[in-house]
Every structure is written in structure tokens, then in C-alpha cells.
């Protein structure tokens, strides 16, 4: 019995290895990014998601319609509703992203997406993981800013590899052991490293911190660190440092050191964890947006989940839309509409920092999501 299990596991691993080698070859032939400034027609997909998703997305949709009224009227920008990206439909189809929904998304240029629920256990993969893979959204970009504490961070998290590439496809010998796999490719690492250093150069940043656990994960994280330094050699004006993920988590909560960091470059899992920590320092995961960038497509979303407990408690209408609105700001910058993004950012600053006439706490003691949306539209 044991020998049969080992033989089956070897066969499964060989299949995964061949698949990832083919993926590495495709990455090496990556297409050039689209020039949105010259685009005559841009399609923005809007997917509500689950739980509080439809509630916060409604306010993002209202803001987008007001900010882009001229472009929508002229036909340069189209807002298109995406159907089927709900947990009910995904379970019914037994697909993380149903084929018809994926086809709708691929007919758009960029996607603004509410949070989606991933069931615990079972085999249904995260919709986010599936979309990042299917759309090849290799760069997860998350800014965090706390000006009064000198914090101006931006995180470049590799988005398609690491532990998440094969997260639901490990090997299990029932009653004995389970093994999952971590994937790092040459092409995948080079392109995320290039994105981080290009951003640093274009925005006058002086330092990039490469964050791994290369002292333990010597093959995968060791490769990530080595290739990142090879890319860094093309940017001699930028200081490059290596940090281990555990000490970097400590650094972010250390007021004596954290303001020195600017750009972070991380593999997938570490980036997932540390960006939530960074968002909490900013004011909570509800305050941070997230961009998922590829060569052809891009997806923008709130970094928090669908908050089913908030729906169950009847407090869904009090959800904070700040994160999805930050994602909308990032989307506008991505499609080369920086003035529109600046208008939204300034209105959000007035609403959340200077005037604060309508304050969302996430609970009944604060304003509703709709009330905040009305306030924001007034400032826009």
C-alpha cells in the first residue's frame, strides 16, 4: 500500500513539475504592457463579490460614474457589470471562477472587484488565486502611508508563484503526512523584481528591501534573493538590502526604524502576510487598496475579505468602503487618468482626515457605507 502511494505521489509531482516548466517558458515570452494613455476605448469590469462586497462596490461604482462621466459619455471608457463571481454560483459550478464569468472578465481591460469568499476545506480554490493565474497578474502592489509618522511604503509582492501556485494540489498520504509545494521561477522573479526597481527609479525612491527567508528556504527563497540582486545591478543608484521576513515584521512596528523603508520586494506568501500588517498600521485592512498588475490585464480590489460575520450580525450596511475606493484610485492611475485619481484622493483626504463629518467605524455606532458615499460624492 505504501509503495503504491509513493508511486502515485511521484507521478503527481512529475506532472506538476512539467506544468511549471511550461509556465516558466511562457513567462519568458511575456507581452509588453498596454499604453492606456493612447487607448481609444477602455473597458472597466465591475464585480461585486460576496458578503459586504456589493455594499462597498456600490459606493465605488457611484464614485467612478461621477469621476468618469465625461469619458463614459464620449465612449472612451465603459463600465461593464460582471456577473457570476459569487460564492453561490462558484459552488454550483464547482469552479473557482466559472468559465462564463472568466470570459466576461477577459473581455475587459481592468477589473474592479469586491471581496470574494473562499470556503474552508474542500477543493474550491480562491477566486483571487485563480484570477491572478488566469490573467497572469504577477505584481500585487499595495501602498501604505502614515505621513505623520514618516511612513510611505509600497509593497511589490510576487502574485502567481510561491506557496500559492500549487496550493490545493499537494500530496497527501492519508493518516501519514501531507506535503505542499512552493514554486519560484527565474522569469517570474525577474519580472516582479524589475517592476519594483522600475517603480523606485521612476518615483525617486532610494532603497528597495528584498524580504525572504533565504536562510531556511535555500532553494526557492535563495533563488528569489539571488535574481533580485542580479536585477538590482541595473539600478546602481538604488540601495538594495536583504531582510528576513520575521525581522521585517518586527521592523514595521518599530518606530525607530520603520520610516527608513520605502519599497519592498517579496515572494507571494510573505507579501500576503506583511501587507496586512502594514495596512493595520495605517488604520486597518479596510483602509488599504490593492492592485494586481499583469502585462495585458489588471485587477484592483479591497485587501480585506467578504466579512460574513458582519453580514450575519446585521452590520453589513456599516462596512467601510475606504479600501475599495483606494483601489479605484489605483485603477484610475493605471489607466493613465492621474487627474481623476488625484480628485478622488483629495476628496478621501477631506472626508477621512480633515473634515470627518461622516465617520465609518464598521459598526452601528458609526455612519453607514451609503452615508459615507453620499459625503464623498458631495466632495467630488
Where do the domains of the chain lie?
39-134+294-380, 138-289
In angstroms, the CA 370 to CA 313 distance is: 18
Can you give the C-alpha Rg of the chain in angstroms? 21
pLDDT interval class at 15 (50, 70, 90) = confident
Residue whose C-alpha cell reads 488565486 in the numeric block = 129
The answer to whether the 39-134+294-380 and 138-289 domains have the same CATH topology is yes
Q: Determine the 3-state secondary structure of 18 from DSSP.
A: helix
What pLDDT sits at residue 32? 67
CATH of range 138-289; options 3.40.718.10, 3.40.50.2300, 3.30.930.10, 1.10.8.50: 3.40.718.10
What pLDDT sits at residue 251? 97
pLDDT in tens, 125-180: 889 889 988 998 999 999 998 988 999 999 999 988 988 878 778 888 888 888 88
Mean pLDDT of all residues in 193-217: 94
Whole-angstrom CA distances from 232 to 1, 184, 209, 241 are 50, 18, 11, 10
DSSP state letters, 49-73: -STTHHHHHHHHHHHHHHHTHHHHH
pLDDT in tens, 316-330: 999 999 999 999 999
- Candidates 9, 16, 11, 36; CA nearest to 298 is 36
Cell representation of residue 314: 446585521
What is the CATH number that goes with domain 39-134+294-380? 3.40.718.10
Amino acid at each position: 500500500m505504501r509503495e503504491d502511494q509513493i508511486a502515485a505521489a511521484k507521478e503527481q509531482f512529475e506532472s506538476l513539475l512539467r506544468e511549471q516548466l511550461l509556465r516558466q517558458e511562457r513567462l519568458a515570452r511575456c507581452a509588453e504592457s498596454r499604453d492606456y494613455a493612447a487607448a481609444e476605448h477602455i473597458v472597466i469590469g465591475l464585480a461585486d463579490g460576496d458578503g459586504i462586497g456589493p455594499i462597498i462596490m456600490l459606493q465605488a461604482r457611484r464614485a467612478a460614474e461621477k469621476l468618469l462621466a465625461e469619458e463614459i459619455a464620449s465612449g472612451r471608457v465603459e463600465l461593464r457589470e460582471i456577473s457570476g463571481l459569487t460564492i453561490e454560483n462558484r459552488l454550483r459550478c464547482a469552479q473557482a471562477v466559472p468559465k462564463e464569468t472568466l470570459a466576461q472578465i477577459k473581455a475587459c481591460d481592468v477589473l474592479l472587484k469586491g471581496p470574494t469568499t473562499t470556503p474552508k476545506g474542500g477543493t474550491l480554490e480562491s477566486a483571487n488565486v485563480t484570477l491572478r493565474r488566469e490573467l497572469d497578474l504577477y505584481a500585487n502592489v499595495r501602498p501604505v502611508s502614515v505621513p505623520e509618522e514618516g511612513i510611505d511604503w509600497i509593497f511589490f509582492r510576487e502574485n502567481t508563484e510561491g506557496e500559492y501556485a500549487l496550493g490545493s494540489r499537494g500530496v497527501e498520504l492519508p493518516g501519514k503526512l501531507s506535503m505542499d509545494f512552493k514554486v519560484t521561477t527565474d522569469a517570474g522573479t525577474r519580472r516582479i523584481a524589475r517592476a519594483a526597481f522600475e517603480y523606485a527609479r521612476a518615483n525617486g525612491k532610494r532603497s528597495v528591501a528584498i524580504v525572504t527567508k533565504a536562510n531556511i528556504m535555500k532553494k526557492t527563497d535563495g533563488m528569489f534573493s539571488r535574481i533580485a540582486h542580479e536585477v538590482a545591478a541595473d539600478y546602481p543608484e538604488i540601495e538594495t538590502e536583504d531582510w528576513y521576513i520575521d525581522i521585517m515584521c518586527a521592523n514595521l512596528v518599530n518606530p525607530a526604524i520603520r520610516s527608513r523603508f520605502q519599497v519592498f520586494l517579496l515572494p507571494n506568501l510573505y507579501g500576503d502576510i506583511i501587507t496586512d500588517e502594514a495596512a493595520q498600521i495605517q488604520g486597518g485592512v479596510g483602509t488599504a487598496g490593492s492592485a494586481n498588475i499583469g502585462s495585458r490585464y489588471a485587477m484592483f480590489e479591497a485587501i480585506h475579505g467578504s466579512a460574513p460575520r458582519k453580514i450575519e450580525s446585521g452590520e453589513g450596511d456599516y462596512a467601510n468602503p475606504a479600501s475599495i475606493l483606494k483601489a479605484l484610485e489605483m485603477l484610475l492611475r493605471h489607466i493613465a487618468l492621474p487627474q481623476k485619481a488625484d480628485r478622488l484622493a483629495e476628496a478621501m483626504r477631506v472626508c477621512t482626515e480633515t473634515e470627518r463629518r461622516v465617520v465609518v467605524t464598521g459598526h452601528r455606532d458609526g455612519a453607514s457605507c451609503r452615508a459615507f458615499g453620499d459625503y464623498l460624492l458631495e466632495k467630488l
